[in-house]
């Protein structure tokens, strides 16, 4: 049976998530919908793309990934459905679908906007129904026309060397205040010493228990990049640093 994953910035205080799920259940009865998150910061496109990049390949082939973080809803941005890597992706052409285009050949169609669609709620009236139809087995080329443009891709910053250091930056902050960076394990050998905006963190540790409570640490996270945390606390709050903060690994 096909699956739909659902990622948004709608939160759970309002009816928006339930409305989208109601439409999916109407169009595709019995198709499971798995919530990835609805607590992304409002309009935070890079965070949406980061989370999508972490999760999509954890699901079986044929899964439909519905992503609705759409600050330009009702504007000029296109609405897209993508087939890539044996999966389907549905969402706005604003960069949230960037992981769908990395390293694989993608088929992209532009979704027509129904006349009845509320201009401020394409998640319910456009993207949700499209995801439901794909999950029900409707071919990609029957839900839209080939996209004539170039899909918008976010450009992720690349670490660089500065003397005997490699410099990366924070890409994402999770709900625990852990800061996910773009530094990979191959760039940060065991003898490296980490610092964040001049604050000394120390060497890469294996896990949180390697430092006392309240102390900062660097470790290789489950996404295989260096993360900065504070044991039993929030590194982002403790260090006063968020996305874009610079992380230095001193190599000598």
φ, ψ for residue 210, nearest 5 deg: -80, -5
The number of domains in the chain is: 2
Task: Assign 3-state DSSP to the chain and report helix, strand, coil percentages, each to 5.
Answer: 25, 30, 45
pLDDT under 70: residue ranges of the chain: 1
CATH number at residue 30: 3.40.50.10790
φ, ψ for residue 22, nearest 5 deg: -65, -40
Strands across the sheet containing 79-84? 33-37, 4-8, 64-68, 87-92, 79-84, 106-110, 145-146
Domain residues for the domain of 210 are: 160-250
Query: For residue 69, is it within any domain?
Result: yes
203 vs 195: CA distance, rounded Å: 9
Same-domain check for residues 52 and 138: yes
Same-domain check for residues 13 and 86: yes
Same-domain check for residues 222 and 127: no
Same-domain check for residues 170 and 137: no
**Cα 171 versus chain centre, distance:** 10
pTM to 2 decimals? 0.93
Same-domain check for residues 127 and 192: no
Query: For residue 153, is it within any domain?
Result: no
Coil/strand/helix, residue 185: helix
Q: How far is CA 84 from CA 48, 107, 112, in A?
A: 18, 7, 20
Same-domain check for residues 43 and 125: yes
Instruction: Report pLDDT for 1.
Output: 67
Percent of the chain residues topping a pLDDT of 90: 95
Same-domain check for residues 205 and 132: no
Helix axes 16-27, 128-135, angle to 10 degrees: 40
* DSSP summary character for residue 215: -
Instruction: Report pLDDT for 198.
Output: 84
28 vs 192: CA distance, rounded Å: 52
Instruction: Report pLDDT for 104.
Output: 78
Q: How far is CA 19 from CA 47, 108, 113, 119, 129, in A?
A: 23, 26, 18, 15, 11
79 vs 92: CA distance, rounded Å: 5
Query: For residue 154, is it within any domain?
Result: no
Same-domain check for residues 111 and 169: no
């Amino acid at each position: 049976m096909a699956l739909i994953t659902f990622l948004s910035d709608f939160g759970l205080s309002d009816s928006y998530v339930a409305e989208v799920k109601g439409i999916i259940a109407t169009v595709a009865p019995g198709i499971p919908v798995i919530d990835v998150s609805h607590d992304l910061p409002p309009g935070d496109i890079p965070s949406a793309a980061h989370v999508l990049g972490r999760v999509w390949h954890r699901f079986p082939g044929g899964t439909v990934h519905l992503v609705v973080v759409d600050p330009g809803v009702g504007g000029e941005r296109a609405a897209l459905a993508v087939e890539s890597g044996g999966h389907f992706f549905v969402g706005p052409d604003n960069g949230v679908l960037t992981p769908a285009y990395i390293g694989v050949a993608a088929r992209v169609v532009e979704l027509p906007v129904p006349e009845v669609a509320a201009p401020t709620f394409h998640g319910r009236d456009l993207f949700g129904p499209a995801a439901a139809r794909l999950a029900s087995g409707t071919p990609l080329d029957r839900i839209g026309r080939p996209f004539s443009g170039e899909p918008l891709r976010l450009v992720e910053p690349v670490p660089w060397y500065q003397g005997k250091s490699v410099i990366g930056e924070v890409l994402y902050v999770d709900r625990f205040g852990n800061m996910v960076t773009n530094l990979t394990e191959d760039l940060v050998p065991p003898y490296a010493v980490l610092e964040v905006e001049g604050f000394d963190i120390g060497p890469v540790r294996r896990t949180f228990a390697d430092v006392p409570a309240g102390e900062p640490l660097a470790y290789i996270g489950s996404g295989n990049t260096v993360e900065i945390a504070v044991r039993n606390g929030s590194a982002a709050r403790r260090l006063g640093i968020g996305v874009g903060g610079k992380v230095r690994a001193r190599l000598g």
